[in-house]
Structure 1
Amino acid sequence: MKIKNFVLATLTLAAACISACVSPAAKQYDAPELGDYFKDTTSAIKTGGVEMVTINTPKGKFRVWTKKFGNSPAMKLMLLNGGPGATHEYFECMESFLPAKGIELVYYDQLGCGNSDNPKDTSMWDLPRYVEEVEQVRQALHLDKDNFYLLGHSWGGILATEYALKYQQHLKGLIISNMMVSCPDYGKYAQEVLAKQFDPKVLARIREIEAKGDFANPEYMELLQPNFYEKHILRLPSAEWPEPVTRSLGKMNQSLYVTMQGPSEFGISGKLANWDRKKEIKGLSVPTLSIGGEYDTMDPKHMQWIATQVQNGSYLYCKNGSHMSLYDDQKTYMRGLTKFILGVNNGEKKVEL
C-alpha cells in the first residue's frame, strides 16, 4: 500500500512539474464553439455585424462603414485596405481561413472608400487625419490592447504603421502587410530593380507617356497591366484575378489614389512620396509581423529588415507571392498570419514562422 501511494505521489509530482514547464506560448488553443463565434451580442436591431461609425473631421462629421465577422473576445483583426482608395472587399478571402481559428474579422472602408461617405475633397486625403479616423473607429468598436490586432496592406500598411507610432498602447498586435516603411526606398526599388526587368522598348514607351503626363492614355495601363501588374501586383493573368479583387479595385476612388499614390503602382509620386519611418519604428514594442513577397512591388529584404528594427518583430516571407500575396501565395500567407495572431494571443512577443 505504501509503495502504491509512493508511485501515485511521484506520478502526480511529475505531472505537476511537466505542466509548470509548459510555456503559455505552447498551450493548445481551442477555437470557440460555432455558436459562440457567430453569437450576435448587439442589443439593437441586428444588421449582420454592420455598423456605421460617425467620425469627426476638420470638415465636419462623416460616416464610415464597418462590419464585424464573428465574435472573439481576444482576437479582433481590423483590416486596413490598400490603394489608397480601394475597399475592404479584397480581404473577403480571409473568411476561408481565419474564422476556423476563432479570429474575428473587422472590415472597415476608410473615408472616401467603398460603402463609406465620400466628401470629394482632396484636402481630406491626408495621412494624419486618417490616423485619427482609425482611432475613432477603434473607440466606437470597443477595441483595446486585450483584443485589437491591426493589419494594414499596402497603403493600409503605411496607415497601420503611422497609427501604431502614435497609439500602440491600444494594440495587441500589428501586421504590416506588403509595405515598406519608406516611400523613397519604395520608389528607388521600383526604378533600380523592377524597371530593369522590363523589355527596354516597353519601358521607353512608358517613360515617354509619363514624361508627357498623359496618364489617361489607355496605352499606359495596357503596357503596365501585363508587364508590371501581372508580375508584381497579382501573379495571374488579369482576366483570372479573383472576383473580390476585381470588385474592390473596380471601385477605386481615383481622386484619393492619385492624390496620395500617384497615377500608378509603378513607383510613387503623390503626397506620400516622402513618407519615411525607418528611424521611428525602433520605438514600436507591440508584437509586429511584417509580410513580404518575393515578386512584390516592395523590396522583400526591406520588409524582412522591418522585423529586425521593431522591438518584437516577426517576418513572413511568401516565396511565391507578389503584392497580393494573400492571393498568389495564399496558403503561406494565411498560415503565417494565423500562427502569428494565435502566438501573440498565447503570450508570445516574437513568433517563429
Structure 2
Amino acid sequence: MSAVPLPPSSKGCVPFGEHATWYRVTGEPRSGRPAVVVVHGGPGSTHDYLLNIAALSEEGWPVVHYDQIGNGGSTHLPERGEDFWTPELFLDELDNLLHRLDVADDYVLLGQSWGGMLAARHAAGRPPGLRGLIIANSPASYPLWLSEMKVLRDRLPKGVDETLRRHEAAGTTGSDEYFAAMRVFYERHVCRLTPWPRDYLASFYEVYNDPTVYYTMNGPSEFHVIGTLRDWSVVDCVADIAVPTLLISGRHDEATPATVQPFQDLIPDVRWEIFEESSHMPHLEEPERFRRVVGDYLTNLIR
C-alpha cells in the first residue's frame, strides 16, 4: 500500500468545544460506501504513520484520517494536566468528528494500537451508523500489555533491559543511552523495516515534539507505561460490540497474542488475521497483504 501518490483529498479542522480537530478526507464520503475512519495510536501520536491506508479510496472507500487533540494539526494544550487527558475526552472527540463530517450514519472504524482500544470502546456503545470495526495491533487492556512487556523485555539482547531499567529507576529516560536501548525494542516489536519509513518517522517525531499527551497517559516508552492509562481496559465492554470485527496483529508485535485474545474470546462476530512478517505496523511492513485483507473485509460488509 504505497504512500505516494495518494488520491485527491480535502483537509481542514472541525470545532471541538473550544478547540479544533484536524482531519483529512480522501475520496468521496456519502458516495454509496461507508467511510473508513482511521483512529491512530499513541495516545499522543498523529495520523501520519497510517497515511497509506488512504489508498483504500482507490477502491471506492472514502477514508478519514484525523489528529487527536494535543498533537499534529489539532489544538495543542501543553499546559493541561492528567485530569484533562482521559479516554472520555478522545471518545467525545471521535463522536464530534463523525457528526461534524456528516458520516455518523454510515462508517467503519479502523483503530490502530491505542486507537483500536478507543474504537472498541466506541463500538461497544452500539452507535447506529457503525457498520464494521477493524482493531489493528491493539491490546484489550494495559495490565495485560504490561505483563507481556516484561516477557518481551526479558528476551532482549544481554544488557539492553538492564540499561532501560537503570534509567527508568533514575528518571533519566530522556537520555541518549535510554533512547538507544529503547530503539532495540522498537526495531524488534514496533517496526521491523530498515530504514524506518518516512510516514512512521513523521509520527514518531511528532510525539516527541510535543510529548504532553504521550507522557501523561502512556509514559516515556511503549514498554514503560506509568501514565494514567496503566490500569485502563476495554475487556469489560467488548462483548457488547455488535458489528463484524476484524482483528489484525503481527507475529512479532508488541501487542502479543495474549493481549489480543480477549477480543477474540468476547466479541461475538470476530475474525483474527496474524501477519507473519510484521510487528506493530503490518500496514507498512506487509502493505500488499494488509490492503487485500482489509479490502476483502470491507467488501464483505456491503454484500
| Equivalent-residue separation in structure 1 for 2:265 and 2:26 (angstroms) | 33
Aligned twin of 2:102: 142
The one of 110, 118, 127 aligned to 2:87: 127
List alignment gaps of at least 5 residues for structure 2: 1-6
| Equivalent-residue separation in structure 1 for 2:93 and 2:293 (angstroms) | 28
CA offsets 1:146-176 (integer angstroms, 9 cap, x no match): x201111111112112222235333111111
In structure 2, relative to structure 1, the CA distance for the partners of 1:111 and 1:74 (3 Å cut) is same
| Equivalent-residue separation in structure 1 for 2:126 and 2:72 (angstroms) | 25
More helix by share: 1
- Return the offset for 1:197: 1.1
Between Structure 1 and Structure 2, how many residues are aligned? 291
- Return the offset for 1:302: 3.9
Please state if 1:54 is matched with 2:12.
no
CA offsets 1:102-122 (integer angstroms, 9 cap, x no match): 111101111112111112213
Aligned twin of 1:221: 179
Runs of 4+ in 1 over 6 A off after TM superposition: none
- Return the offset for 1:89: 1.3
Q: In structure 2, the residue corresponding to 1:78 is in which secondary structure?
A: strand
Paired residue type of 2:11:
V
Counterparts of 1:170-209 in structure 2 under 5 Å? Answer: 170-191=129-150, 193-209=151-167
List alignment gaps of at least 5 residues for structure 1: 1-36, 39-47, 347-353
Q: In structure 2, the residue corresponding to 1:52 is in which secondary structure?
A: strand
Aligned twin of 2:257: 300
- Return the offset for 1:220: 0.3
Counterparts of 1:1-353 in structure 2 under 5 Å? Answer: 48-56=9-17, 61-71=18-28, 72-96=31-55, 98-120=56-78, 121-122=80-81, 123-145=83-105, 147-191=106-150, 193-225=151-183, 227-237=184-194, 240-252=195-207, 253-346=210-303
Q: TM-score, normalised by structure 1?
A: 0.78
Paired residue type of 1:156:
G
Q: Which moved more, 1:164-173 or 1:248-257?
A: 164-173
| Equivalent-residue separation in structure 1 for 2:51 and 2:77 (angstroms) | 26
Q: In structure 2, the residue corresponding to 1:124 is in which secondary structure?
A: coil
Q: TM-score, normalised by structure 2?
A: 0.91
Q: In structure 1, the residue corresponding to 2:125 is in which secondary structure?
A: helix
Q: Which moved more, 1:271-280 or 1:159-168?
A: 159-168
Report 1 or 2 for greater relative contact order, CA contacts < 8 Å, sequence distance ≥ 6.
2
Structure of larger gyration radius: 1
| Equivalent-residue separation in structure 2 for 1:247 and 1:222 (angstroms) | 19
Q: In structure 2, the residue corresponding to 1:264 is in which secondary structure?
A: coil
